[in-house]
Amino acid sequence: MVNAADSNSSFTRSLAHTDVNIRERAFNKLTTWLAARDQSLEELDMLKIWKGMFFSFWHADLQPVQEDLAERMAKILLSIKNKKVCEMYLGGFFTTMRREWF
Protein backbone atom coordinates (compact mmCIF):
# COMPACT_ATOMS: atom_id res chain seq x y z
CA MET A 1 0.00 0.00 0.00
CA VAL A 2 1.33 3.43 -0.96
CA ASN A 3 1.41 6.03 1.79
CA ALA A 4 -0.90 8.92 0.84
CA ALA A 5 1.51 11.59 2.08
CA ASP A 6 4.41 10.14 0.08
CA SER A 7 2.24 9.83 -3.02
CA ASN A 8 1.03 13.41 -2.70
CA SER A 9 4.57 14.81 -2.52
CA SER A 10 5.58 12.77 -5.54
CA PHE A 11 2.46 13.79 -7.47
CA THR A 12 2.95 17.45 -6.59
CA ARG A 13 6.58 17.53 -7.70
CA SER A 14 5.88 15.62 -10.89
CA LEU A 15 2.77 17.60 -11.81
CA ALA A 16 4.70 20.87 -11.41
CA HIS A 17 7.72 19.61 -13.38
CA THR A 18 8.90 21.60 -16.39
CA ASP A 19 9.09 18.45 -18.57
CA VAL A 20 5.73 17.80 -20.22
CA ASN A 21 6.32 14.03 -20.33
CA ILE A 22 6.84 13.86 -16.58
CA ARG A 23 3.71 15.98 -16.03
CA GLU A 24 1.66 13.71 -18.29
CA ARG A 25 2.80 10.53 -16.54
CA ALA A 26 2.05 12.09 -13.16
CA PHE A 27 -1.40 13.22 -14.28
CA ASN A 28 -2.27 9.75 -15.56
CA LYS A 29 -1.03 8.10 -12.37
CA LEU A 30 -2.92 10.62 -10.24
CA THR A 31 -6.13 9.97 -12.15
CA THR A 32 -5.82 6.23 -11.56
CA TRP A 33 -4.81 6.70 -7.92
CA LEU A 34 -7.73 9.01 -7.10
CA ALA A 35 -10.21 6.71 -8.85
CA ALA A 36 -9.01 3.80 -6.74
CA ARG A 37 -9.13 5.63 -3.38
CA ASP A 38 -11.55 3.92 -1.01
CA GLN A 39 -10.94 6.35 1.81
CA SER A 40 -10.69 10.10 2.03
CA LEU A 41 -7.49 12.11 2.19
CA GLU A 42 -6.39 14.82 4.54
CA GLU A 43 -7.40 18.25 3.26
CA LEU A 44 -3.77 19.37 3.24
CA ASP A 45 -2.84 16.39 1.05
CA MET A 46 -5.51 17.29 -1.50
CA LEU A 47 -4.37 20.92 -1.49
CA LYS A 48 -0.82 19.78 -2.20
CA ILE A 49 -2.07 17.74 -5.15
CA TRP A 50 -3.99 20.74 -6.44
CA LYS A 51 -0.93 22.97 -6.06
CA GLY A 52 0.87 20.60 -8.41
CA MET A 53 -2.09 20.54 -10.80
CA PHE A 54 -2.21 24.34 -10.79
CA PHE A 55 1.44 24.52 -11.85
CA SER A 56 0.88 21.77 -14.39
CA PHE A 57 -1.76 23.99 -15.96
CA TRP A 58 0.56 26.99 -15.65
CA HIS A 59 3.24 25.14 -17.64
CA ALA A 60 0.79 24.25 -20.43
CA ASP A 61 1.90 26.76 -23.03
CA LEU A 62 -0.84 27.00 -25.62
CA GLN A 63 -4.58 27.52 -25.34
CA PRO A 64 -5.50 24.16 -26.95
CA VAL A 65 -3.18 22.38 -24.50
CA GLN A 66 -4.73 24.26 -21.58
CA GLU A 67 -8.26 23.48 -22.79
CA ASP A 68 -7.44 19.78 -23.05
CA LEU A 69 -5.85 19.73 -19.60
CA ALA A 70 -8.79 21.61 -18.04
CA GLU A 71 -11.20 19.08 -19.54
CA ARG A 72 -9.12 16.16 -18.28
CA MET A 73 -8.95 17.71 -14.79
CA ALA A 74 -12.73 18.06 -14.77
CA LYS A 75 -13.24 14.48 -15.98
CA ILE A 76 -11.32 13.15 -12.99
CA LEU A 77 -14.46 13.91 -10.96
CA LEU A 78 -16.34 11.32 -13.01
CA SER A 79 -13.76 8.63 -12.29
CA ILE A 80 -13.62 9.08 -8.49
CA LYS A 81 -15.82 6.46 -6.83
CA ASN A 82 -15.54 7.64 -3.23
CA LYS A 83 -17.94 10.53 -2.56
CA LYS A 84 -15.73 12.10 0.11
CA VAL A 85 -12.66 12.03 -2.16
CA CYS A 86 -14.77 13.56 -4.94
CA GLU A 87 -15.92 16.36 -2.64
CA MET A 88 -12.36 16.97 -1.48
CA TYR A 89 -11.11 17.08 -5.08
CA LEU A 90 -13.66 19.73 -6.02
CA GLY A 91 -13.08 21.65 -2.79
CA GLY A 92 -9.33 21.54 -3.41
CA PHE A 93 -9.89 23.09 -6.81
CA PHE A 94 -11.91 26.00 -5.40
CA THR A 95 -9.48 26.59 -2.54
CA THR A 96 -6.53 26.57 -4.92
CA MET A 97 -8.16 28.96 -7.39
CA ARG A 98 -9.09 31.32 -4.56
CA ARG A 99 -5.57 31.14 -3.10
CA GLU A 100 -3.71 31.56 -6.41
CA TRP A 101 -5.92 34.02 -8.29
CA PHE A 102 -7.72 36.23 -5.78
Q: How many residues does the chain have?
A: 102
Supply the pLDDT for residue 5. Answer: 56
Q: What percent of the chain has pLDDT over 70?
A: 92
With a cut of 50, say whether residue 1 has pLDDT above it.
Answer: no
Q: Which residues of 71-96 are buried (b: 16+ CB within 10 A; e: fewer)?
A: eebeebeeebebeebbebbeebbeeb
Mean pLDDT, to the nearest integer, of 44-61? 94
| Residue 38 CB neighbours (<10 A) | 7
| pLDDT score of 3 more than 60 | no
pLDDT on residue 80 = 95
Q: Quick check: 44 pLDDT over 60?
A: yes
Is the per-residue pLDDT at 4 higher than 70?
no
